Structure 1
Amino acid sequence: MIKGRYSKVESLKIMGHASKQVLGPNIEILMWNVFKCKKKGWQDDFITLMREKDLILLQEAIINSPFDSHFKASLQHQWIMARSFKNIKTNIETGVKTGSTVAANKHYYSVSEHSEPISKTKKMLLASVYPLHTLEQSLLVVNAHIINFVSFEKFKTHLDQVFNTLEHHDGPILMAGDFNTWNSKRLKYFNQLTRLFSLNEVKMKRQPRLKHLFQHLDHIYCRGLTVVDVHVHTHIHSSDHYPISLSLRSSNPTKIK
């Protein structure tokens, strides 16, 4: 395990058991900011959405809650959670969580250098590497929740931190999460970095939300992978973000420099 610069050992939790040895060639994915599982109906929606998924990337995920059994007792997915905040009253911890039908070869996690101004909480990134069916390459999966109510410079610092995790991986990449790109300046800088790392945006039909200033905060980018299908579940309202289902296919091995 590689620890992040600002992380503590207790910031990482691994649960459940993977059911497969490798990912691909077809990879089914769910990405969702679950709003700390606060809304009614979240559990039923999650159970339905996660069926047949090889990778699941959650933001604002929680642990030490009544939902823990879905993760700790799982015989289908290995779950890795990077925790950044603990509610002293409830003992519930919040962070990003990645589930996979394949055990990670390695993982990296780190917290944002800066904190949100009111809650004083930090935001988390979790990067994990999984073996692919070709056995010649591995898939880097980056699950991120970017700091929000801060200056552009502090936002930029955290985004740079996330993209630094891509520097030494020359194989396929899946990067997804809540990037809080609610103004043009943030989105422009985000797009500059994606081009620098040869990442391709997964285009999707969406339904903007007033709460998000009618901007799209959730993004999925990939490299060395083919998008087969993508669907935004706008009929699901058990979070303040819509879940996104994605079908990818791993390409033939090619080294990207």
Structure 2
Amino acid sequence: MGRKVKIALGSMVTTMALAGYFLSQLTIFDKLQIQFVSGRDKPYQAITQYAPLQCYQSPEAVAVLPAKTFKLLSWNIHKGQDAGWQKDLQRLSAEQDFVLLQEATPQQSLQQFSSSLFASAFAYKAQSSGVKTFAKSAPQWYCADSLPEPWIQIPKVGSAMAFPLQNGQTLLVVNLHLINFELKLVNYRKQLEQIFALVGRHQGPMIVAGDFNSWRGKRVDFLNGLMAQYDLHAVPLQSDQRVRFLGQPLDHVFSRGVQILTANVLAVKSSDHNPILLEFRIGAD
């Protein structure tokens, strides 16, 4: 057996061993796991009008958002694997009204927020991971959905929360982590279309943010076309330091029916993604 063949076989065995270890530590849930906290006495009730999404609604009216101007943080926190994430998360979330995390785990806990929604479809080494949204007010309803990666089968997750406003409208906040490992757009398209079935029925202002894994031109084109169908516009970012792959930014914020006041990206070492900070206003001055 030649030296090159031995090296190739050795690499193959090592790869298979690593893959076997990874799979032995991975648990994919039979059903999307949703953990919701609101501080309200009456539990939210399941509703079916947005199926196949899992959705729940408050049995009574919740308080309207008390302000017209809001601050929002969107950040893929890399499962808290990088040093310094706790300090950066506390610092960056201190003045926010909404915090949208992707690759979140139960470790990310922000006590200053009265409501939180954590949606997870898998666990690695007994630690679940998914998308997590924090808010200072309780939503009228919320939804979550997942779809498995076509190659590695690990599901990606999205969620939405709806908050009543002073003007009688409802603000929809959507937190997305989209399919990554796929050359075609089959599952990527399906995941977006499932969550956008809900988006299409919403008439009020909206923020859609997260890690879109938009690393190919075809994905970017599809994404922009879909957003345009729903009158959603990409938020222009000052100091745009978003992480890029193959020249394309992975993280985005899209908006509808709001006035963007500031939108920035901050460079950090506490994750493999940089956080986006947004301030926006609803309604006229």
TM-score, normalised with respect to structure 1: 0.84
Partner SS for 2:214: coil
Aligned counterparts of 1:220 and 1:7: Cα–Cα separation in 2 = 30
- Matched AA of 1:240: D
Aligned counterparts of 1:218 and 1:116: Cα–Cα separation in 2 = 21
Is residue 12 of structure 1 aligned with residue 34 of structure 2?
Answer: yes
The residue that corresponds to 2:253 in the other structure is 220
- Matched AA of 1:41: G
Contact 2:157 2:178 in 1 (8 A): yes
| Contiguous gaps of at least 5 residues in structure 2 | 1-28, 41-62
Match of 2:201 among 134, 151, 168: 168
The residue that corresponds to 2:113 in the other structure is 76
Equivalent positions of 1:56-135 (< 5 A) are: 56-63=99-106, 67=107, 70-71=109-110, 74-87=111-124, 89=125, 91-112=126-147, 114-118=148-152, 120-134=153-167
Aligned counterparts of 1:124 and 1:208: Cα–Cα separation in 2 = 21
Partner SS for 2:190: helix
Aligned counterparts of 1:183 and 1:218: Cα–Cα separation in 2 = 13
Contact 2:158 2:176 in 1 (8 A): yes
Match of 2:266 among 233, 243, 256: 233
Aligned counterparts of 1:56 and 1:46: Cα–Cα separation in 2 = 10
Bigger Cα Rg: 2
User: Which structure exhibits the higher relative contact order, with contacts defined as CA atoms closer than 8 Å and separated by 6 or more residues?
Assistant: 1
State the Cα RMSD in Å: 2.0
Distance 1:7 1:194, change over 3 A: farther
| Contiguous gaps of at least 5 residues in structure 1 | 1-5, 253-257
Contact 1:144 1:162 in 2 (8 A): no
Identity of aligned residues (%): 32
Match of 2:98 among 55, 67, 74: 55
The residue that corresponds to 1:243 in the other structure is 275
- Matched AA of 1:115: E
Is residue 206 of structure 1 aligned with residue 262 of structure 2?
Answer: no
The residue that corresponds to 1:3 in the other structure is none
Aligned residues: 232
Match of 1:30 among 73, 79, 89: 73
Contact 2:243 2:250 in 1 (8 A): no
Aligned counterparts of 1:50 and 1:231: Cα–Cα separation in 2 = 14
- Matched AA of 1:100: A
The residue that corresponds to 1:146 in the other structure is 178
Q: Choose 163-172 or 186-195, whichever is displaced more.
A: 163-172
